[in-house]
Structure 1
């Protein structure tokens, strides 16, 4: 059975790139009848955030990516948190040391920084100079008992590693270009390189689907599999996700944060749909997918090497397509949190459902709903500059007072009857189209856009409509 994993570090919000990695792993597992494992790689104690692991788990669940095994789910290879597996890493590090595939390094942080500066000044790629690799093993073991040290991987000094990647094809890595990677830090915690290889083997991972940034580490990881005598899994390295300036997408920009998009009211289904298209291309021209359709269509062989540009406008368009399919009662339930600071916070569903129905067309994000409902407010909004330009127009001066008198004298109870009165004023004055309707909308709502006037009039009622128009014209009806 195929087994894949997503192994985030709890160092902050989940990045869009991380969500895509998790998604592709899930899609591959579901498509092939395999298992999706969630593992927390929390060995970077300086950067770990206490609640980040819970936030990551919650975000994955909000997006429908439920693991088959993991920290909360359990499973046959528990624990699934690396800080709870330290004895395993120490055991395997000792085996590497004993076999001569790893060695202790006693170099201070100051010496290593000085070395890097010298290498940069000489135009060289920074890397460890293997100074401690020549220490006699007996002397090294003796010093390990009393001196701070790390363990480094002893990269062979010649030869090459050939790798067949599911995305990048055949790759060759000359070992002369590979650094002696730190495997165990001075605090005894493993680095990613040791821990992920040990865990992937012990958890029987068959396919490692991860970001392109890990490609340079492939030779180190394949050497570890060779040194341990293990069969390596297949690898697929996903292309970078870029911003609109074609630089690597960052969470600091806002567009790179999964939580930021969900908090703005992008439906999780739409975010999953869009993220799936960042690097993977279906066999047809479709762009809208349900999760089940993604599972059916997904194929690792159709993942591109080229960086994928994150386009917020495209995401919001897909979100609008997904929101079209949500029944209005469900849409209102999802949007309730965004209404908490508005006058509609305590309004009943019976009151709000027709209003939401009137304004939902083209909705891209749930956080747009309060502004769309604003024309239904029982508190008149101060007109913006564009609205004032229509209210002060010559056609408005001729039509609005007449409309006000008709509405006041007509004792209307139905919105349609009030609109018919406006049409009649238009015929009598020769004013039509925007010149007739836009000043009226601006006077009633303070804006030139929004839902149909019929819906607004039905909500605010004839008396409020007359009062608003009168206040705007400063006329006592």
Structure 2
């Protein structure tokens, strides 16, 4: 795995802190992380925050927190708590590297491989319109490309502002990239005109920052989304212009929704933070996104991160678009959730139950038992809310949908018998068998059967005539609670 750049692989994830961490970004981070771990390399987090207008500390904090939640931890980059630099090759935030970019822009200017251009936006637009009308590529044709550097600097000293452009005239006709995912990709050099390296305010553009940072941070492999493929020609030209070795590139397929369109938040949560809020487990998110473009050699579907590290191989990345199947995602989350030890799952659902201000028994034996009962019905952690709600005495109310059952002639006798038999029960909790036995006794005492028997009892337990099976719920409810609820139901008759 050695290269001219570093004796061991160095990969990076380089988000822009202009919004949330999208699942596509999380997948890029994951593949880089897996490659580093599999090959004894280093995973670096670099922050691409040169878009001053849109980059925020809040977004950076969110992206970093999401990566920590996913446990995709980096060897170098910003500290997850303080956001200060950690590592020998910083700064790791592009906004703090402007002097570095200026140094290498000057190097290209002095070598005649770049030049100052003073074309106005209006002049550039006029050129583009003329080129379009003539059927030519709308590349900038700058009258300043042959100005001596000294002349350009004197022009700047007079108060004129110019961008720094990379000179593409006279470069090789074709550039060939041996992409690790897509195979051989050819770029004609006339695909781009003289492109900007530094804006007129001195702020560097993405492609220039990217090359300088990847080289100085000794990045050996660049794994990123397919949408970056068009940037690669410009980056190859800059590497060549600075006489730097090229890292290896792999461009991964886009993630598509069920309609084969680029995944967007219009169809549901695609932000890692929202997935966490909905109750997806980090382990399931990683498992699911790993399979959006990569497959396990043995066809395994349910995997831990260690399983993925062991099996990860770039040759198994698929260049075709991967479908984000939300039904499968939920199913996969359910597999991870049900594999958790009971008390670990109990702790995981606590924030969701607390959000609803539920008051539930603090007894670990009860908690363990309740998880055993409800685990098969949970797909995501937030499912616990509806499952546990009937057990929360404070949320017991008799709903309008119970009105019909409460009017039946036999209901009062059923509720009275139910209350008396529960009151006579000798322990705080009853088993499923004991509940079924009591239900049969109510039937024998009152002669009620079918819905005339079950619905009033259900109203007395959960406040409505339809819902979860009582043989599941009642064994989790204290005798006192069942009596108090039965009294409320009787009082409403």
What TM-score comes out, normalization by structure 2 length? 0.86
**Aligned match for 1:334, one of 348, 356, 366:** 348
Local SS of the residue matching 1:296: helix
1:141 aligns with 2:153: yes
Q: Give how far 1:66 is off.
A: 0.7
SS in 1 for 2:185: strand
Query: Is 420-429 or 228-237 further displaced after alignment?
Result: 420-429
1:140–1:255 Cα change, 3 Å: same
Match of 1:415 in 2: 430
Q: Which residue of 2 aligns with 1:373?
A: 388
1:45-56 alignment to 2 at 5 Å? 45-56=52-63
Q: Please report how far the alpha carbon of residue 405 of structure 1 lies from its aligned counterpart in structure 2 after TM superposition.
A: 3.5
Give, in whole Å, the separation in 2 of the partners of 1:382 and 1:123.
75
Aligned: 1:66 with 2:73: yes
Matching residue of 1:95: 107
Q: CA deviation at 1:334?
A: 1.9
Task: Give the Å deviation of 1:52.
Answer: 2.1
1:242–1:307 Cα contact (<8 Å) kept? yes
Secondary structure of the corresponding residue to residue 344 of structure 1: coil
Pairing partner for 1:207 from 221, 225, 232: 221
Residue 242 (structure 2) pairs with residue 228 (structure 1): yes
Which segment drifts farther, 411-420 or 33-42? 411-420
Change (3 A) 1:56 1:408: closer
Please state if 1:218 is matched with 2:232: yes
Checking the alignment, whether the CA contact within 8 Å between 1:399 and 1:431 is kept in structure 2 is: no
**Which deviates further from its counterpart, 24-33 or 371-380?**
371-380
Displacement of 1:234 after TM fit? 0.5
Q: Distance in 2 between matches of 1:24 and 1:266?
A: 20
TM-align CA RMSD: 2.9
Native 8 Å contact 1:28 1:298 kept in 2: yes
- Identify the range of structure 1 (117-126 vs 8-17) with the bigger mean alpha-carbon deviation: 117-126
Aligned partners of 1:336 and 1:345 also within 8 Å:
no
The 10-residue stretch of structure 1 (71-80 or 283-292) with the greater mean CA deviation from structure 2: 71-80
CA shift for structure 1 position 26: 0.4
Tell me the distance in 2 between the aligned counterparts of 1:162 and 1:266.
42
Q: How does 1:75-114 map to 2 (within 5 A)?
A: 75-113=87-125
Give the 3 Å change call, closer, same or farther, for CA 68–252 of structure 1 in structure 2: farther
Secondary structure in structure 1 of the residue aligned to 2:78: coil
1:167 aligns with 2:181: yes
- Does the aligned pair in 2 maintain the 1:240–1:308 contact within 8 Å? yes
Matching residue of 2:11: 4
Q: Secondary structure of the equivalent of 2:275?
A: helix
1:170 shift after superposition: 0.5
Q: Distance in 2 between matches of 1:121 and 1:53?
A: 44
Aligned pairs for 1:209-288 (under 5 A) are 209-251=223-265, 254-288=268-302
Task: After TM superposition, give the deviation of residue 216 of structure 1 in Å.
Answer: 0.7
Distance 2:359 2:443 in 1: 38
The answer to whether the 8 A contact 1:383-1:445 is kept is no
Task: Give 1:124-135 correspondences, 5 Å limit.
Answer: 127-135=139-147
How far apart are residue 312 of structure 1 and its match? 2.1
Greater displacement, 285-294 / 145-154 = 145-154
State the alpha-carbon separation in 2 of the partners of residues 375 and 29 from structure 1: 48
C-alpha separation in 2, matches of 1:462 and 1:402: 20
SS in 2 for 1:133: coil
Query: Relative to structure 1, is the Cα distance of residues 384 and 80 closer, same or farther in structure 2, using a 3 angstrom cutoff?
Result: farther
| 402 and 24 in structure 1: CA distance in 2 versus 1, 3 angstrom threshold | same
In the TM superposition, what is the alpha-carbon distance from 1:473 to its structure 2 partner? 6.6
In the alignment, which residue of structure 2 is the partner of 1:150? 163
Quick one: structure 1 residues 135 and 426, their matched pair in 2 at CA, closer, same or farther if it must change by over 3 Å? farther
1:356 and 1:373 in contact (8 A); partners too: no
Quote the Cα distance in structure 2 between the aligned partners of 1:256 and 1:381. 36
Work out whether residues 415 and 460 of structure 2, in 8 Å CA contact, stay in contact via their aligned partners in 1: no
Structure 2 equivalent of residue 453 of structure 1: 470
Shift of 1:363: 1.3
Q: How far apart, in 2, do the equivalents of 1:368 and 1:291 lie?
A: 25
Deviation at residue 344 of structure 1 after TM alignment: 2.1
CA distance in 2, matches of 1:340, 1:114: 62
Residues 15 and 270 of structure 1: CA distance in aligned 2, closer, same or farther (over 3 Å): same
Distance of aligned partners of 1:333 and 1:114 in 2 relative to their CA distance in 1, 3 Å threshold = farther
Q: 1:261: how far off? A: 0.5
Unpaired segments ≥5 residues, structure 1: none
CA contact (8 A) 1:8 1:39 kept: yes
Q: How far does residue 335 in structure 1 lie from its aligned partner after superposition?
A: 1.9
Shift of 1:33: 0.9
Once the two structures are TM-superposed, the CA of residue 78 in structure 1 deviates from its matched residue by 2.2
- Cα distance, 1:402 vs. partner? 4.6
Question: How far did 1:133 drift?
Answer: 2.7
Question: How many angstroms does 1:171 deviate by?
Answer: 0.9
CA contact (8 A) 1:43 1:189 kept: yes
Task: Report the TM-score when normalising by structure 1.
Answer: 0.88
Kindly indicate whether the alpha-carbon contact (under 8 Å) linking 1:225 and 1:231 is maintained by their aligned counterparts in 2: yes
Q: Does 1:180 align with 2:171?
A: no
Determine the C-alpha separation between the residues in 2 that align with 1:435 and 1:241. 53
